[in-house]
C-alpha cells in the first residue's frame, strides 16, 4: 500500500470512529457512505489507466488495416499491397512480389493523399513499398 492510500485509510478510520461515537455503530456505517467516493465504472478506470500506454499510431494503423480497401478505392493498390506498419509517419506497404514495387511506385502520391484524407490530417508523410516479409525483418 502506498503512502497516499495508507493516509486515506487512516482518515476514513478516524471519521468512522467519530461517526460511531456520535450516531452509534449501525448509523455510522450508513453515514460513512456519504463520506466515501462515488462509484466509477470499471471501463472508465481502465481507459484512464491505459490511455497513456497505446501509441496513437497503433490505433491509426489498426484502422488503416481494417479499412484499407475502402481507403485506397478501386484499383490494383488495394489488392496488390497491404499495410505492414506505420512508424514515425512512414507507412510500409507490403507487396507479394518485388516486381510489384515498380508497378505501384507511380501511384504512391495518390495513395498518400487518400490515406491522409481518410484520417483528416497529416498522419502519413511517406509510403514505402517492401517485398512480402520485409516488415518482419525490420
Per-residue model confidence as pLDDT tens digits over 78-129: 888 899 998 888 999 999 888 888 888 898 999 999 999 988 877 889 999 9
**What would the CATH number be for the domain defined by 56-137?**
3.30.300.180
Write down the pLDDT at residue 50. 77
Whether the predicted pLDDT of 39 surpasses 70: yes
Which residue spans of the chain are classified as CATH 3.30.300.180?
56-137
Residue 134 near residue 94, CB atoms below 8 Å:
yes
The tens digit of pLDDT for each residue in 10-19 reads 888 898 898 8
Residue with the three cell numbers 509517419? 89
pLDDT-based confidence at residue 25 (cuts at 50, 70, 90): confident
Please name the residue ranges forming H helices in the chain.
3-23, 25-34, 42-50, 56-66, 68-72, 76-80, 99-104, 108-119, 134-137
Q: What pLDDT band is residue 135 in, cutting at 50, 70 and 90?
A: low
| β-pair partners for 120 | none
Answering whether pTM is above 0.85, one says no
Strand, helix or coil at 112?
helix
How high is the pLDDT of residue 109? 92
Amino acid at each position: 500500500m502506498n503512502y497516499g492510500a495508507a493516509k486515506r485509510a487512516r482518515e476514513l478510520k478516524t471519521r468512522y470512529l467519530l461517526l460511531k461515537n456520535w450516531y452509534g455503530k449501525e448509523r455510522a456505517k450508513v453515514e460513512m457512505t456519504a463520506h466515501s467516493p462515488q462509484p466509477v465504472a470499471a471501463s472508465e478506470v481502465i481507459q484512464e489507466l491505459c490511455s497513456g500506454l497505446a501509441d496513437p499510431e497503433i490505433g491509426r494503423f489498426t484502422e488503416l488495416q481494417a479499412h484499407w480497401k475502402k481507403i485506397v478505392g478501386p484499383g490494383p493498390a488495394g489488392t496488390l499491397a497491404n499495410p505492414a506498419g506505420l512508424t514515425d509517419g512512414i507507412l510500409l506497404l507490403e507487396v507479394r512480389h518485388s516486381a510489384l514495387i515498380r508497378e505501384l511506385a507511380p501511384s504512391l502520391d495518390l495513395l498518400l493523399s487518400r490515406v491522409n484524407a481518410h484520417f483528416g490530417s497529416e498522419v502519413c508523410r511517406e509510403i514505402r513499398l517492401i517485398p512480402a516479409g520485409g516488415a518482419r525483418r525490420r
